[in-house]
Structure 1
Amino acid sequence: MEAFVQVNNRYVTIQPWSESRPQLVVGFTTRDGGTSKSPFSSLNMGFHVGDEWESVLQNRQLVANDLNISLENWIGTEQVHEADIQKVTMEDAGKGSRSLKTAIAHTDGIYTNEKDLLLTSLYADCVPLYFYSPSHEVVGLAHAGWRGTVKNIGAKMVQVFKTQENIRVEDIHVAIGPCISKQAYEVDQKVIDEVTKSLPVDNGNLPYETIGNNKYLLDLREINKNQLIEVGILPDHIINSSICTTLDTRMFSHRAENGKTGRMMSFIGIKSVVK
């Protein structure tokens, strides 16, 4: 059963998490219910794609109203397809919320143990990874395109939770959000070569299939899931969305729309008070 469930036309939530903890604000925006014009229609959350700045800001304000978390408390990152992770605090509140220029530079993963902050990350086919430790009230996000995936950003976040926050791996829950599916993600030999280098010892279950002419169908979800299990995340602590951003018309897709499109946003935070 799909765990990412529609709340309104603007976003879906990770239902098992949000139901178990009312203070947890978590989800993924759609492309609907915003103000942007084609080809960014309509809820584009990305400042960097060529959309009007005012439209993106209005879209973000609509989501802020839905979540009841001010833009002043949002935090965003530059996202450079690397595996750098940074802890954020209330001192970082507002970075990247109204402009890409103020986003946390050269970073694809952020986490916090402070309440009333909303961590955010942007997508149009890459893999959003959500991290949550209920016992320690620590949350995190990681952006995993194929480059971030082969650099093991998800496993690195788990290690940071363990070493920097003293969280047992058994207390960490992870969700793999809406992203491009294997059936829609055709890649070339260069990508497969990098993927192969990053895989553990071959167990015969390769996360891709050959379709001829040095082309392959790649399953980024499966790679990330296996990397998380490899570092000790319990399989029943992993939620894996079945929503394909390329095939689901609610979503923007860089692949399906030839690079000219908007961005969805993953988000997670813990409120100190539920209003």
Structure 2
Amino acid sequence: MGNELFLDTSDMTTLALHFGRDGGQVKAGFSTRLNGVSKDPFASLNLGYHVPDHPVDVLTNRKILSKAIGTPLENWVVAEQIHGNDIAHITANDLGRGTLDHESAIRGMDGMYTDEKGLMLAALYADCVPVYFYSPSAKRVGIAHAGWKGTTKDIAGEMIQRWQDDGIDPKDIVTAIGPSIGKCCYEVDDRVIENVIEVASDSEQFFTHNEGTYQLDLKAVNKHLLLKAGVLEDNILVSDYCTSCSDLFFSHRSEHGKTGRMMGYIGLEEV
């Protein structure tokens, strides 16, 4: 498909996600932590209202990202995110929700999709896995927030199933797994691994055992679930970025829970 994820070096504010020649009508990406106004420990482009950063700074940061990608804030829609697998169908009636405050966000949802042009779907991350979805034939886009709980509740498969119920062949869906914590840095316990084993066949390939703990490849689990749902391997892009290793990103794990949030976004262009 000619997909690629690359760093937009024009201002270092966002990674731009390209869906190849079939994705010219899609605008998608993932913000870095650079070029914002927030102070430590949220320095500097924190985009999350739900962390104890100054709300005025968060709004300023959102305006910075909005300007960088050329989509006005009034066209954005943000979900609440509760580490579940519920998914919302977003329409123009939802424009602006969650943009200026956390209280107006789409409640109880970790996934969103839309068929309408001009809407920008946005989700927040600081190690969890951003999963992007695009159907070139149906002109539909979606995004999911998959921490270990959402992953083991198969939110990626739930999105594919919702689209399949609407007549979209999974083989037509192009997906991407964005920057998140890598196996190198993601140490988990038996409770997490037990949930992984329940949802993923041949799950041993996704983790290594290390004296009572495990190193888990959450991106690989999500790729497995996309394949299981019928997505073609050639239609799954997986980013190499580890949010814990790289100084481009906030990391809940490496910064001991007190940090900012990046934003994953996707929308259909008005052309």
Q: How does 1:99-118 map to 2 (within 5 A)?
A: 99-118=101-120
Indicate conservation of the 8 Å contact 2:22/2:136, yes or no.
Answer: no
Q: Percent identity?
A: 43
Alignment partner, residue 55 of structure 1: 57
* 1:252 matched to 2:255: no
Among residues 134, 139, 144, which one is paired with 1:137 in the alignment?
139
Secondary structure of 1:13's partner?
A: strand
Q: How does 1:167-182 map to 2 (within 5 A)?
A: 167-182=168-183
Following superposition, the deviation at residue 190 of structure 1 comes to: 1.2
TM-score (norm 2): 0.96
Secondary structure of 1:272's partner?
A: coil
Secondary structure of 2:198's partner?
A: helix
CA distance in 2, matches of 1:176, 1:241: 6
Following superposition, the deviation at residue 3 of structure 1 comes to: 2.9
Q: How does 1:176-215 map to 2 (within 5 A)?
A: 176-200=177-201, 202=202, 205-212=204-211, 214-215=212-213
TM-score (norm 1): 0.94
Secondary structure of 1:81's partner?
A: coil
* 1:9 matched to 2:12: yes
Indicate conservation of the 8 Å contact 1:154/1:228, yes or no.
Answer: yes
Kindly provide the amino acid, as one letter, of the partner of residue 220 in structure 1.
L
Indicate conservation of the 8 Å contact 2:176/2:237, yes or no.
Answer: yes
Indicate conservation of the 8 Å contact 2:200/2:224, yes or no.
Answer: no
CA distance in 2, matches of 1:2, 1:20: 9
Indicate conservation of the 8 Å contact 1:11/1:27, yes or no.
Answer: yes
CA distance in 2, matches of 1:249, 1:2: 24
CA RMSD between the two structures? 1.5
Secondary structure of 1:26's partner?
A: strand
Structure 2: stretches of 5+ with no match in the other structure: none
Secondary structure of 1:142's partner?
A: strand
Kindly provide the amino acid, as one letter, of the partner of residue 44 in structure 1.
N
Secondary structure of 1:225's partner?
A: helix
Following superposition, the deviation at residue 21 of structure 1 comes to: 3.3
* Count of residue pairs the alignment pairs up: 268
CA distance in 2, matches of 1:88, 1:69: 17
Q: How does 1:140-155 map to 2 (within 5 A)?
A: 140-155=142-157
Q: How does 1:86-105 map to 2 (within 5 A)?
A: 86-105=88-107
CA distance in 2, matches of 1:2, 1:262: 28
CA distance in 2, matches of 1:151, 1:188: 17
Structure 1: stretches of 5+ with no match in the other structure: none
Indicate conservation of the 8 Å contact 2:17/2:27, yes or no.
Answer: no
Kindly provide the amino acid, as one letter, of the partner of residue 210 in structure 2.
I
Following superposition, the deviation at residue 6 of structure 1 comes to: 1.2
Indicate conservation of the 8 Å contact 1:2/1:242, yes or no.
Answer: no
Following superposition, the deviation at residue 53 of structure 1 comes to: 0.2
Secondary structure of 2:243's partner?
A: coil
Indicate conservation of the 8 Å contact 2:3/2:20, yes or no.
Answer: no
Give every structure 1 segment of 4 or more consecutive aligned residues whose post-TM-superposition deviation is greater than 4 Å: none
Kindly provide the amino acid, as one letter, of the partner of residue 264 in structure 1.
M
Q: Deviations over 1:22-54 (max 9, x none)?
A: 331100000001111111000000001100000
CA distance in 2, matches of 1:3, 1:137: 19
Among residues 219, 222, 245, which one is paired with 2:220 in the alignment?
222
Following superposition, the deviation at residue 242 of structure 1 comes to: 0.5
Following superposition, the deviation at residue 169 of structure 1 comes to: 1.0
Q: Deviations over 1:204-254 (max 9, x none)?
A: 753111010x20000101111011101110000000000000001000000
Further displaced range: 116-125 or 1-10: 1-10
Following superposition, the deviation at residue 18 of structure 1 comes to: 6.0
CA distance in 2, matches of 1:191, 1:154: 18
Alignment partner, residue 82 of structure 1: 84
Among residues 42, 63, 68, which one is paired with 2:44 in the alignment?
42
